[in-house]
Structure 1
């Protein structure tokens, strides 16, 4: 799952990246208003962790930008601002949560997990698709009770496909989701092909049907309709 961390305090930002990467998140960063604006509008994220006080602008204006461009990312505001008006304005502008500074990193991680579950997985920790079951917090996949051993990247790819069942996910979107700021390294999409191929093989070897379908010239779709 890919996050954008918008924070101008170097020590806090380094702590956020280190902790959240250890929780299996892909982290991109922005330390100024301009950097955050560019990344928010160009790329897609499961969650944006947004400080309100930034060099070059106000985080509340970034929320307005997200609204104007109808971006779907969840937003958690983290700010030392104590004014109730700022909290109310942030929530009215579409933020999902507001965490005042200072905060504990495990609490932020828990709020990110809860937000992603609400937005993408109907608030549940356990996903079911055909013969496949996925325990999101435990990062465990099974096919009719049989465990499927996946790499971190394969599991992240599986979650992306499950969150978009029935919809085509382009190869570019997959590369961006799996690699974050390093997406340009996927120019030939060879890594995308390899990860999809390995995931399909592991699921079918465990007894699942061919759920991951290639849509020629576009990308891939997760579809269990053949079993219904």
Structure 2
């Protein structure tokens, strides 16, 4: 999962970012509204962790910006304010959940996973298409009931394909989703090709269908019309 953390407390931001990194997340950090808006316009995120009290404004203003720009990221508000009015305002503006500081990092992790299951997987920890099944709790992928020997990046990439089936995904967007926004400056994305190649090989070895099609000049598409 790719997350944008908007938090002006650098020590707390570093602690959250490092924790989420250890849990396998890609976590980008903004310390103010202006930088966050630039990132949200330029890149895609599965979830935004949004502090309310920021040095250049109120986080609820940024929440309004996210909805006005039709940015599809989920929103988890983080705030030291324990006011019922703030919670109601955030949820009415479209936030998916609200976590009051101080909080335990494992609880943050659990909230993020719950939001992802609810928004992307219809509340389940399993996402499946035909013979392919992915368990986001155990990080296991099976094809025709056979467990695949996959790296974490390969699992995340296959999940990204299945969640976005029938959509063209550019090499740049795949790289940014799996490795972070700094990949925007990479000279090439050959490493994406290698990961796709490995996934195809492992699915084929389990007698599965290769649904991942190459869209020349653009990227890849998980094509559900292949049988």
Q: 1:213 touches 1:222 (CA, 8 Å); kept in 2?
A: yes
Instruction: Indicate yes or no: 2:168 matched with 1:168.
Output: yes
1:137 correspondence with 2:154: no
Q: 2:226 is paired with a residue of what secondary structure? A: helix
Partners of 2:3 and 2:28 within 8 A in 1: yes
Task: Supply the distance in 2 between the matched residues of 1:10 and 1:215 (Cα, whole angstroms).
Answer: 41
- The corresponding residue for 2:23 is 23
In the other structure, the counterpart of 1:87 is 87
Residue of structure 1 in register with 2:106 after alignment? 106
1:25 is displaced (CA, Å) by 0.6
4+ long deviations beyond 3 Å: none
58-67 vs 29-38, which moves further: 29-38
TM-superposed CA distance for 1:211, in Å, is 1.2
Give the Cα separation in 2 of the matches to 1:74 and 1:187: 31
Tell me the residue number matched to 1:157. 157
**Could you tell me whether the CA contact under 8 Å between 1:6 and 1:29 is conserved in 2?**
yes
Provide TM-score, normalisation by structure 1: 0.95
TM-score, normalized by length of structure 2?
0.95
Q: Is the 8 A contact 2:172 2:184 kept in 1?
A: no
2:11 counterpart of 1:11 = yes
In the alignment, what sits opposite 1:97?
A: 97
- CA displacement at 1:185 relative to structure 2: 4.2
CA displacement at 1:190 relative to structure 2 = 1.1
1:57-76 alpha-carbon deviations (Å, 9 max, x no partner): 21111001101100000000
Q: Distance in 1 between matches of 2:76 and 2:47?
A: 7
SS of corresponding position for 1:119? helix
Mapped partners of 1:177, 1:112: distance in 2: 16
Unaligned 5+ residue runs, structure 2?
Answer: none
How far residue 42 of structure 1 moved from its aligned partner, in angstroms, is 1.4
1:23/1:46 CA distance change after superposition, 3 Å: same
* CA spacing shift, 1:194–1:185, aligned 2, 3 Å: farther
Q: Find the counterpart in structure 2 of residue 118 from structure 1.
A: 118
1:81-126 C-alpha deviation (Å, 9 max, x unpaired):
1222211111111110011111111111111001111111111111
